[in-house]
Amino acid sequence: MISILISHTLLSLAALQDPAAQAPTADPQLTRAWERWEQFEAEDHRLMAASIEQYVLGSEHPKLRALAALLDPARAAKVLENSELPRFEAKEYAPALKLKTKVLQPSSSTWKRLAKRYGIDADALPSAHWRWSSGRQALLAPDGERATPRARIESLLQGRLPEPESWLARIEAALDFDPLLQQSAAYFEHTYRDRDGRVYEGISLAMMWSSQREFGISDVEAVAFMRTILDDDSIRSPIPSRLHNGIYALIRDEYASVREAEQLRKALAAAFFHDHDRIPIVLRGVAPRLDLAWALVGDDPARMRAWLQEHPTRKAFLGSIEQRIAARLEADGISEQELATRPGAISAILALRAREGMAREGLMGFRGR
């Protein structure tokens, strides 16, 4: 059993680092390979890069096996290229208000003032990154250009996964199991609208609630919450003032549940790659225990998902880690240090298999398959 645990190596931080942080050194063989690469058309580049990535993920290393499984068409998360936030329509949820909707773009001074007040970084909106949308049950692709086929191969040659945020998002997707929280997440992934009917493009309800500052909620979003989440059609607009605080408290509490589940998924996804800097601050102190949690399930996202289903709250899950560690140590007669033991990082495996994959495509001057 010890040997099985030890074989489950954690990816090193290098596997998720920024490409700009590691400049490749000159390599005559690779220089010639890229010269051959330029002789092919764009479609050939795409196909060769896909083949090389598939070969790299074909390693028997448990983490790479897990990542390869996430791309299996039978279980792979769908990808949405258009990641614009939906919005609730005033005519549907608050027709009596006759609210005139005005959509504000990030270039608007009013938009910027609200973003500054609530700590929203206009240059780091979610649309700039790969991310998992629990509400839409899809991977959301970032705006702008994607990594080129050559850039993807170069990442692997340097021991890094291409588009690392996409892999974090895929792990999150594999751990997202609760349909009720998914429904609630869908609500909070709608665009924020203030009481004057101004809709702030790119700013979600979740962003506003996560600011932990007081803000106004339109009747549109309040009624939408009661209908879509609580299945309550009794609340109509205009909502009496005496009901405001009670409804807001219901929304706040539901967001707390959604956020707790999301933070735990993000923390576990980062721990899968041993990237503690990406773990939400509230859980960073237990990062070593999350590492051990992955060791206990053999780096298998399906087993981790089942574990989360058994212990769905953060408190219950963290408590169960300690119980399972103690049980494993007693059963195998090992120390916690032995349980946590890991050999070297697999960045070298990525680089080696990338070269082998290039050889299989004939880029090294001969075909290896």
Question: pLDDT for 116-141, tens place per residue?
Answer: 999 998 776 777 789 999 999 999 99
Q: What is the edge-to-edge ordering of all strands in the sheet holding 102-104?
A: 102-104, 198-204, 191-193
**SS percent in the chain: helix, strand, coil, step 5:** 60, 5, 35
Angle at 318 between CA 251 and CA 281, to 5 degrees: 65
CA dist., res. 265 & res. 270, Å (int): 9
Tokens linked to 110: 């009013």
Tokens read off for 244 = 């405001």
Judge contact between 111 and 105, C-beta under 8 A: yes
Three-state SS for 190? Answer: coil
State the pairing for strand pair 138-140/131-133.
antiparallel
Looking at residue 16, its pLDDT comes to: 63
pLDDT at 99: 86
Name the token pair of 301.
């996202």
Measured over the CA atoms of residue 90, residue 94, residue 98 and residue 104, the dihedral's sign is negative
In this prediction, residue 256 carries a pLDDT of 98
In this prediction, residue 23 carries a pLDDT of 47
pLDDT tens figures, 285-338: 999 999 999 999 989 999 999 999 999 999 999 999 999 999 999 998 988 887
Q: What length does the chain have? A: 369
**pTM for the whole thing?**
0.89
Q: How many CA atoms lie within 13 A of 70 on its CB side?
A: 25
Residue 151 has pLDDT above 60, yes or no: yes
pLDDT band at 339 (very low <50, low <70, confident <90, very high): confident
The strand pairing partners of 199, in sequence order, are 103, 193
Task: Return the bridge partners of 133, or none.
Answer: 138
The structure tokens listed for 266 are: 């993000």
The C-alpha angle 266, 270, 274, rounded to 5 degrees, equals 160
Contacts of 166 (CB under 8 A, 6+ apart): 130, 139
